[in-house]
Structure 1
Amino acid sequence: MRFLPAVIVDALFVLIFAAIGRASHQEDPAGFLLTAWPFLVALVIGHLVAALLPGRPRRPWSLMWGVVVWVVTVAGGMLVRVVAGDTAEVPFIIVAAIVLGVFLVGWRAAAALVRRLRGSQSADEADAAAVEDSVGPID
Protein backbone atom coordinates (compact mmCIF):
# COMPACT_ATOMS: atom_id res chain seq x y z
CA MET A 1 0.00 0.00 0.00
CA ARG A 2 1.70 3.17 -1.21
CA PHE A 3 -0.13 5.40 1.28
CA LEU A 4 1.14 3.66 4.41
CA PRO A 5 4.59 5.31 4.65
CA ALA A 6 3.06 8.80 4.47
CA VAL A 7 0.40 7.89 7.04
CA ILE A 8 3.08 6.56 9.39
CA VAL A 9 5.26 9.67 9.03
CA ASP A 10 2.24 11.91 9.60
CA ALA A 11 1.14 9.89 12.64
CA LEU A 12 4.62 10.18 14.14
CA PHE A 13 4.49 13.95 13.69
CA VAL A 14 1.06 14.12 15.35
CA LEU A 15 2.44 12.12 18.29
CA ILE A 16 5.46 14.45 18.50
CA PHE A 17 3.11 17.47 18.44
CA ALA A 18 1.09 16.04 21.32
CA ALA A 19 4.16 15.11 23.40
CA ILE A 20 5.75 18.54 22.92
CA GLY A 21 2.47 20.26 23.77
CA ARG A 22 2.00 18.31 26.99
CA ALA A 23 5.60 18.84 28.03
CA SER A 24 5.38 22.58 27.35
CA HIS A 25 2.46 22.82 29.79
CA GLN A 26 4.25 20.79 32.47
CA GLU A 27 1.73 18.01 31.99
CA ASP A 28 2.72 14.37 32.10
CA PRO A 29 4.23 13.75 28.65
CA ALA A 30 3.35 10.06 29.04
CA GLY A 31 -0.31 11.02 28.57
CA PHE A 32 0.36 12.34 25.07
CA LEU A 33 -2.00 9.76 23.59
CA LEU A 34 -4.89 11.53 25.35
CA THR A 35 -4.00 14.66 23.42
CA ALA A 36 -3.09 12.90 20.18
CA TRP A 37 -5.99 10.50 19.63
CA PRO A 38 -8.50 13.04 18.19
CA PHE A 39 -5.86 14.25 15.75
CA LEU A 40 -4.89 10.70 14.80
CA VAL A 41 -8.54 9.92 14.01
CA ALA A 42 -8.78 13.08 11.92
CA LEU A 43 -5.44 12.29 10.26
CA VAL A 44 -6.76 8.97 8.94
CA ILE A 45 -9.89 10.74 7.70
CA GLY A 46 -7.67 13.38 6.07
CA HIS A 47 -5.79 10.73 4.13
CA LEU A 48 -9.08 9.17 3.03
CA VAL A 49 -10.41 12.56 1.91
CA ALA A 50 -7.20 13.27 -0.04
CA ALA A 51 -7.42 9.84 -1.69
CA LEU A 52 -11.07 10.29 -2.67
CA LEU A 53 -10.99 13.88 -3.96
CA PRO A 54 -11.85 14.18 -7.64
CA GLY A 55 -8.76 15.37 -9.46
CA ARG A 56 -6.98 14.56 -6.23
CA PRO A 57 -3.29 14.82 -5.69
CA ARG A 58 -1.89 11.52 -6.89
CA ARG A 59 0.90 10.99 -4.39
CA PRO A 60 0.56 10.97 -0.58
CA TRP A 61 3.93 12.71 -0.28
CA SER A 62 2.88 15.62 -2.54
CA LEU A 63 2.37 19.09 -1.11
CA MET A 64 -1.31 19.21 -2.08
CA TRP A 65 -1.97 15.89 -0.37
CA GLY A 66 -0.25 17.30 2.71
CA VAL A 67 -2.38 20.44 2.67
CA VAL A 68 -5.58 18.38 2.52
CA VAL A 69 -4.38 16.13 5.35
CA TRP A 70 -3.30 19.14 7.43
CA VAL A 71 -6.62 21.01 7.09
CA VAL A 72 -8.71 17.92 7.85
CA THR A 73 -6.43 16.92 10.74
CA VAL A 74 -6.66 20.31 12.44
CA ALA A 75 -10.38 20.89 11.83
CA GLY A 76 -11.37 17.29 12.48
CA GLY A 77 -9.10 16.94 15.49
CA MET A 78 -10.64 20.01 17.11
CA LEU A 79 -14.14 18.77 16.35
CA VAL A 80 -13.42 15.33 17.83
CA ARG A 81 -11.89 16.98 20.93
CA VAL A 82 -15.01 19.07 21.51
CA VAL A 83 -17.40 16.19 20.87
CA ALA A 84 -15.38 14.07 23.31
CA GLY A 85 -15.84 16.74 25.99
CA ASP A 86 -12.42 18.38 25.80
CA THR A 87 -11.72 22.01 24.96
CA ALA A 88 -10.54 23.75 21.81
CA GLU A 89 -9.51 27.24 22.91
CA VAL A 90 -8.51 29.72 20.20
CA PRO A 91 -4.80 29.83 21.20
CA PHE A 92 -4.65 26.01 21.05
CA ILE A 93 -6.30 26.02 17.62
CA ILE A 94 -3.76 28.57 16.34
CA VAL A 95 -0.77 26.69 17.76
CA ALA A 96 -2.06 23.33 16.51
CA ALA A 97 -2.69 24.75 13.03
CA ILE A 98 0.80 26.23 12.81
CA VAL A 99 2.70 23.28 14.28
CA LEU A 100 0.78 20.63 12.39
CA GLY A 101 1.12 22.68 9.20
CA VAL A 102 4.88 22.81 9.62
CA PHE A 103 4.98 19.09 10.43
CA LEU A 104 2.48 17.66 7.92
CA VAL A 105 3.27 19.94 4.99
CA GLY A 106 6.88 20.64 5.95
CA TRP A 107 8.25 17.13 5.51
CA ARG A 108 6.59 16.97 2.12
CA ALA A 109 8.16 20.30 1.12
CA ALA A 110 11.57 19.03 2.22
CA ALA A 111 11.05 15.80 0.26
CA ALA A 112 10.01 17.79 -2.84
CA LEU A 113 13.13 19.93 -2.53
CA VAL A 114 15.35 16.84 -2.27
CA ARG A 115 13.63 15.29 -5.30
CA ARG A 116 14.07 18.50 -7.26
CA LEU A 117 17.74 18.78 -6.32
CA ARG A 118 18.39 15.15 -7.22
CA GLY A 119 16.56 15.64 -10.49
CA SER A 120 18.64 18.67 -11.40
CA GLN A 121 21.84 16.82 -10.50
CA SER A 122 20.79 13.92 -12.71
CA ALA A 123 19.98 16.35 -15.51
CA ASP A 124 23.38 18.07 -15.10
CA GLU A 125 25.14 14.69 -15.20
CA ALA A 126 23.16 13.68 -18.28
CA ASP A 127 24.05 16.98 -19.98
CA ALA A 128 27.74 16.50 -19.17
CA ALA A 129 27.63 12.93 -20.51
CA ALA A 130 25.94 14.13 -23.71
CA VAL A 131 28.59 16.81 -24.22
CA GLU A 132 31.36 14.28 -23.58
CA ASP A 133 29.79 11.86 -26.06
CA SER A 134 29.59 14.54 -28.75
CA VAL A 135 33.06 16.11 -28.33
CA GLY A 136 35.04 13.33 -26.74
CA PRO A 137 36.55 13.17 -23.26
CA ILE A 138 37.27 16.50 -21.61
CA ASP A 139 40.65 16.57 -19.94
Structure 2
Amino acid sequence: MKKFVPFVVDVALVVVFCAIGRRSHDESIGAGLLRTFWPFGAGLLLGWVISLAVAAGREGASAAQRFDGRAVWPTGVIVWLSTLVGGMLLRVVSGQGIAFSFVLVAASFLALFVVGWRAAVQVLR
Protein backbone atom coordinates (compact mmCIF):
# COMPACT_ATOMS: atom_id res chain seq x y z
CA MET A 1 0.00 0.00 0.00
CA LYS A 2 2.87 2.39 0.78
CA LYS A 3 4.04 2.04 -2.85
CA PHE A 4 0.89 3.87 -3.99
CA VAL A 5 1.40 6.93 -1.75
CA PRO A 6 3.75 8.76 -4.18
CA PHE A 7 1.24 8.21 -7.01
CA VAL A 8 -1.58 9.61 -4.85
CA VAL A 9 0.60 12.61 -3.92
CA ASP A 10 1.32 13.25 -7.61
CA VAL A 11 -2.37 13.06 -8.52
CA ALA A 12 -3.32 15.41 -5.69
CA LEU A 13 -0.65 17.94 -6.69
CA VAL A 14 -1.70 17.87 -10.36
CA VAL A 15 -5.30 18.48 -9.25
CA VAL A 16 -4.05 21.44 -7.18
CA PHE A 17 -2.10 22.73 -10.20
CA CYS A 18 -5.26 22.56 -12.34
CA ALA A 19 -7.40 24.20 -9.65
CA ILE A 20 -4.90 27.05 -9.23
CA GLY A 21 -4.87 27.56 -12.98
CA ARG A 22 -8.64 27.70 -13.22
CA ARG A 23 -8.86 30.05 -10.24
CA SER A 24 -6.18 32.38 -11.63
CA HIS A 25 -8.29 32.80 -14.78
CA ASP A 26 -11.49 33.42 -12.79
CA GLU A 27 -12.98 30.15 -14.02
CA SER A 28 -15.16 27.91 -11.91
CA ILE A 29 -13.00 25.32 -10.20
CA GLY A 30 -15.74 22.75 -9.68
CA ALA A 31 -17.45 22.87 -13.05
CA GLY A 32 -14.39 22.55 -15.29
CA LEU A 33 -11.78 20.91 -13.10
CA LEU A 34 -12.14 17.47 -14.69
CA ARG A 35 -11.88 18.98 -18.18
CA THR A 36 -8.66 20.71 -17.18
CA PHE A 37 -7.26 17.77 -15.21
CA TRP A 38 -7.80 14.81 -17.54
CA PRO A 39 -5.02 15.59 -20.08
CA PHE A 40 -2.47 16.09 -17.32
CA GLY A 41 -3.81 13.11 -15.37
CA ALA A 42 -3.39 10.89 -18.42
CA GLY A 43 0.15 12.19 -18.91
CA LEU A 44 0.86 11.53 -15.24
CA LEU A 45 -0.40 7.96 -15.50
CA LEU A 46 1.72 7.40 -18.60
CA GLY A 47 4.75 8.74 -16.74
CA TRP A 48 4.23 6.24 -13.95
CA VAL A 49 3.94 3.39 -16.46
CA ILE A 50 7.14 4.54 -18.20
CA SER A 51 8.94 4.85 -14.84
CA LEU A 52 7.98 1.32 -13.87
CA ALA A 53 9.06 0.03 -17.30
CA VAL A 54 12.41 1.81 -17.01
CA ALA A 55 12.96 0.31 -13.56
CA ALA A 56 12.01 -3.16 -14.79
CA GLY A 57 14.24 -2.88 -17.84
CA ARG A 58 17.16 -1.61 -15.81
CA GLU A 59 16.85 -3.87 -12.78
CA GLY A 60 15.02 -6.96 -13.99
CA ALA A 61 11.62 -8.42 -13.21
CA SER A 62 11.89 -7.84 -9.47
CA ALA A 63 12.12 -4.08 -10.00
CA ALA A 64 8.52 -3.63 -8.89
CA GLN A 65 9.53 -4.76 -5.40
CA ARG A 66 12.44 -2.30 -5.25
CA PHE A 67 10.83 0.54 -7.24
CA ASP A 68 10.90 3.84 -5.34
CA GLY A 69 8.22 6.27 -6.46
CA ARG A 70 9.82 8.95 -4.28
CA ALA A 71 13.05 9.07 -6.31
CA VAL A 72 13.81 12.34 -8.07
CA TRP A 73 15.74 10.47 -10.76
CA PRO A 74 14.48 8.82 -12.84
CA THR A 75 10.92 8.61 -11.51
CA GLY A 76 10.27 12.27 -10.72
CA VAL A 77 11.80 13.56 -13.93
CA ILE A 78 10.00 11.01 -16.11
CA VAL A 79 6.65 11.67 -14.42
CA TRP A 80 7.14 15.44 -14.71
CA LEU A 81 8.05 15.38 -18.41
CA SER A 82 5.32 12.91 -19.25
CA THR A 83 2.71 14.95 -17.35
CA LEU A 84 3.81 18.13 -19.11
CA VAL A 85 4.25 16.81 -22.66
CA GLY A 86 1.35 14.36 -22.52
CA GLY A 87 -0.91 16.97 -20.96
CA MET A 88 -0.07 19.56 -23.60
CA LEU A 89 -0.48 17.13 -26.50
CA LEU A 90 -3.82 15.90 -25.19
CA ARG A 91 -5.00 19.50 -24.66
CA VAL A 92 -4.23 20.27 -28.30
CA VAL A 93 -5.88 17.09 -29.58
CA SER A 94 -8.99 17.76 -27.50
CA GLY A 95 -9.27 21.35 -28.74
CA GLN A 96 -8.36 23.01 -25.44
CA GLY A 97 -5.36 24.76 -26.95
CA ILE A 98 -2.08 25.92 -25.49
CA ALA A 99 0.02 29.06 -25.53
CA PHE A 100 3.79 29.26 -25.17
CA SER A 101 3.48 31.15 -21.89
CA PHE A 102 1.14 28.45 -20.57
CA VAL A 103 3.69 25.76 -21.44
CA LEU A 104 6.37 27.67 -19.49
CA VAL A 105 4.12 28.19 -16.47
CA ALA A 106 2.94 24.58 -16.51
CA ALA A 107 6.52 23.29 -16.85
CA SER A 108 7.59 25.37 -13.86
CA PHE A 109 4.68 24.53 -11.60
CA LEU A 110 4.64 20.84 -12.49
CA ALA A 111 8.40 20.63 -11.88
CA LEU A 112 7.96 22.33 -8.52
CA PHE A 113 5.07 20.04 -7.58
CA VAL A 114 6.09 16.68 -9.08
CA VAL A 115 9.87 16.85 -8.69
CA GLY A 116 9.94 19.30 -5.78
CA TRP A 117 8.22 17.14 -3.20
CA ARG A 118 10.56 14.26 -4.07
CA ALA A 119 13.61 16.50 -3.64
CA ALA A 120 12.28 17.72 -0.28
CA VAL A 121 11.77 14.12 0.90
CA GLN A 122 15.33 13.22 -0.11
CA VAL A 123 16.77 16.24 1.69
CA LEU A 124 14.79 15.44 4.84
CA ARG A 125 15.83 11.78 4.87
TM-score under structure 2 normalisation?
Answer: 0.86
Q: Give the alignment's Cα RMSD to 1 decimal.
A: 1.5
Alpha-carbon shift at residue 3 of structure 1 (Å): 3.6
Q: Which amino acid aligns with 1:61?
A: R
Aligned to 1:90: 100
For residue 96 of structure 1, give the secondary structure of its aligned residue in structure 2.
Answer: helix
Instruction: Give the ranges of 4+ consecutive aligned residues of structure 1 lying more than 2 Å apart after TM superposition.
Output: 54-58
Which blocks of at least 5 consecutive residues in structure 1 are unaligned? 116-139
Q: Which amino acid aligns with 1:98?
A: S
CA distance in 1 between counterparts of 2:118 and 2:22 reads: 25
Aligned to 1:49: 50
For residue 27 of structure 2, give the secondary structure of its aligned residue in structure 1.
Answer: coil
Q: Quick check: 1:24 aligned with 2:24? A: yes
Percentage of matched positions with identical amino acids: 40
Structure with max Cα Rg? 1
Choose the corresponding residue for 1:62, options 45, 56, 71: 71
Higher relative contact order (Cα pairs below 8 Å, separated by 6+ residues) = 2
Aligned to 2:117: 107
Alpha-carbon shift at residue 55 of structure 1 (Å): 2.5
Alpha-carbon shift at residue 2 of structure 1 (Å): 4.9
Aligned residues between the structures = 115
